[in-house]
Structure 1
Amino acid sequence: MIADLHELDAFAAVAVHRSFRKAADERGVSASALSHALRGLEERLGVRLLNRTTRSVTPTEAGKRLLERLAPALREVGDALTELSAMQTVPTGTLRLNVPRPAARLVVAPLLARFVASYPRIQVEVVTDDRLSDIVSDGFDAGIRFGESLAGDMVAVPIGPPQRFVMVAAPDYLAARGTPQVPRDLLGHACIGRRFPSGNLYAWELHAEGQPLSLAVEGPLVFDDDALMIQAACDGAGIAYVYEAMVRDELVAGRLVKVLESWGAPSSRFFLYHPGRRNLPPVLRAFVEFVRT
């Protein structure tokens, strides 16, 4: 039967100190507990490791050989545990985040400079991905998604301010095509489409008189990137439905104007999500606490 690490560590301590009492004091246990562990180890190995008298404890020849091979390995284990303990105190290592492109621009990028300044021993790797990835199997510590609809075994933490979608178009486009007054008017306009990584086209989620409304709009352009939608809208290609925070400058400059503003969906949040609540990796725990504060 193979000896366990506790018994081997007990043997090494007694062999080095040549005293059960000193080894017991060092480890905060009783001398009788160490003596019992050593007897069990010798019985399973079938060899005497220590010669004991009332005045002294000395390794046998077999004990000396075992200690020579064992001491470097135990030092490695001790160093590894010390390093792990230090990581709990000062988070160290790589934090991998799976983030959709809008979230990377709107909520993650504004946080990163302050986070790495606060935790200089953490390296953050952000992978932008608009797919609904399995963060666990893909090797990520956490992900970010819009809205709180996540798998039941995930913990969700709101990150960043509430985000609102708005319908926008260039003034020249509206001058030529007219301004829609109710959601149904969108069916007669060039609407800039959004295609998800799954291949599905996004049906615009609106609110009509307080009730949710899904509208399958059409138009000559379909993108999977907000920046391209915004550029197309600025160029007069049609109406885009995008995050308000991403068109703030265009709205202020007058390159775009809002349409059907009172019909947009209510604001929602991005959520940082990760598996489980207990024993979070120190780098992830540091980021979660940073986000919460």
Structure 2
Amino acid sequence: MNRGDLNDLNTFLAIADHLSFRAAAAQLGVTSSALSHSIRQLEERLGVRLLHRTTRSVSLTDSGLRLLERLRPGMDQISDALEELKEERRRPSGRLRIYTQQWTAATVIAPVWQRFLSSYPEVHLELCVDSGPTIDIVAGGFDAGLAVRERVPDEMIAVRVTGPMEAAVVASPSYLAKHPAPRMPDDLASHQCVQFRIGRDGEIFRWRFERNGSRKFVSPRGNITVNTAETAIRAALDGLGIVYMLDALAEPFLRSGQLVRVLEPWSPCIEGAYLYYHGRRQPPAALRAFIDMVRAPKGRSGRRSLKNPF
């Protein structure tokens, strides 16, 4: 069946419903002469007469009645399928796949996922948490990704979802009881620092410090290297050394006294996190709903209250 057959069959149904070319034309938004031409073409292709038509009336032939009986259920199914797709576009449902790093999962997704899934119970939220560099989310089959702005590919639409976020340098009270707290970034050279590798085979993260317009980078030294924020926190709690992390991730442990902050006057801010997705695709309703829930209003702080995962 080609597109012309489907259009002509739809025309036949409209005429059969109204038994009037004028009423069917009004429904379909075309002229009566166009409908007459479509029906004439359909009858010629089928080799049967489907309608009796005079200047005063329209009625179905026996062949037209048989075609209508067979055609109606199929066309109704097509119509229902299209309506379901329209409804899905309006109502969040289905799987929502997001590529995220651990820190954005903790600071962006975890604070809202209970409310999001309660609000949209027909959505299945799937997270791929990785510590590596940004990947091609389209090739990976993801609806969206989360990253800092400079890691968002140029062709993507980016939506800011956190305000500026402050870095924090922390250690456990047990570690600081044995080692004097550093007062300057250079003092870290005499400390055990938990190093952070970006991804599986990436470079070791350099610690950035800022104060009064002065910026300083430190390459930490220590006898343990991790590649997830969760493991870095665990190492700090166990007294293995000093850790550089987001203040939002350290907050619950600072509040409980399990960790202590050092070098606070040197703590820099990062721009915050962005949710990004491909601009050439129509975003599904689930993604639009998620963006509405996590979008950062102007001036909102990046600090969130997080539960202690340990």
Query: TM range, normalised to the smaller chain?
Result: 0.7 to 0.9
- Counterpart of 1:261? 264
How far apart in 2 are the matches of 1:57 and 1:113? Answer: 59
C-alpha distance after superposition, 1:108-166 (max 9, x if no partner): 11112222333333332233233323221222211111345311111111224432221
How far apart in 2 are the matches of 1:49 and 1:184? Answer: 93
- Counterpart of 2:165? 163
- Counterpart of 1:222? 225
Partners of 1:155 and 1:276 within 8 A in 2: yes
Deviation at 1:224, TM superposition (A): 1.6
Deviation at 1:241, TM superposition (A): 0.5
Structure 1 stretches lacking a partner, 5+ long: none
- Counterpart of 1:93? 94
Deviation at 1:194, TM superposition (A): 0.9
Partners of 1:148 and 1:156 within 8 A in 2: no
C-alpha distance after superposition, 1:205-250 (max 9, x if no partner): 3336524433222211111222221222222211100121222232
Where does 1:54-133 land on structure 2 (aligned, <5 Å)? 54=54, 55-59=56-60, 63=64, 66-131=67-132, 132-133=134-135
Give the counterpart of 1:149 among 140, 148, 151: 151
Partners of 1:50 and 1:57 within 8 A in 2: no
- Counterpart of 2:292? 289
Q: Does 1:247 align with 2:256?
A: no
How far apart in 1 are the matches of 2:229 and 2:154? Answer: 29
How far apart in 1 are the matches of 2:214 and 2:26? Answer: 72
Partners of 1:183 and 1:260 within 8 A in 2: yes
- Counterpart of 1:204? 207
How far apart in 2 are the matches of 1:137 and 1:168? Answer: 38
- What amino acid sits opposite 2:103 in the alignment? P
How far apart in 1 are the matches of 2:263 and 2:3? Answer: 74
Q: How many residues align?
A: 292
Q: Calculate percent identity across the aligned residue pairs.
A: 39
Deviation at 1:61, TM superposition (A): 6.4
Partners of 1:95 and 1:125 within 8 A in 2: yes
Mark the CA change 1:26 to 1:148 in structure 2 (over 3 Å): closer, same or farther.
same
How far apart in 2 are the matches of 1:51 and 1:10? Answer: 12
Please, what TM-score do these two structures have when normalized by structure 2?
0.81
C-alpha distance after superposition, 1:23-52 (max 9, x if no partner): 334434432232132234445x36344344
Q: Which secondary structure state, in structure 2, belongs to the residue aligned with residue 205 of structure 1?
A: strand
**Alignment root-mean-square deviation, CA:** 2.7
- Counterpart of 1:35? 36
Partners of 1:15 and 1:50 within 8 A in 2: no
Q: Which moved more, 1:226-235 or 1:20-29?
A: 20-29
- What amino acid sits opposite 1:53 in the alignment? R
Structure 2 stretches lacking a partner, 5+ long: 298-310
Partners of 1:92 and 1:283 within 8 A in 2: yes
How far apart in 2 are the matches of 1:2 and 1:59? Answer: 24
Where does 1:171-182 land on structure 2 (aligned, <5 Å)? 171-182=173-184
Mark the CA change 1:51 to 1:199 in structure 2 (over 3 Å): closer, same or farther.
same
Partners of 1:48 and 1:60 within 8 A in 2: no
Please, what TM-score do these two structures have when normalized by structure 1?
0.86
C-alpha distance after superposition, 1:251-291 (max 9, x if no partner): 23333222222223223312111111773222212222222
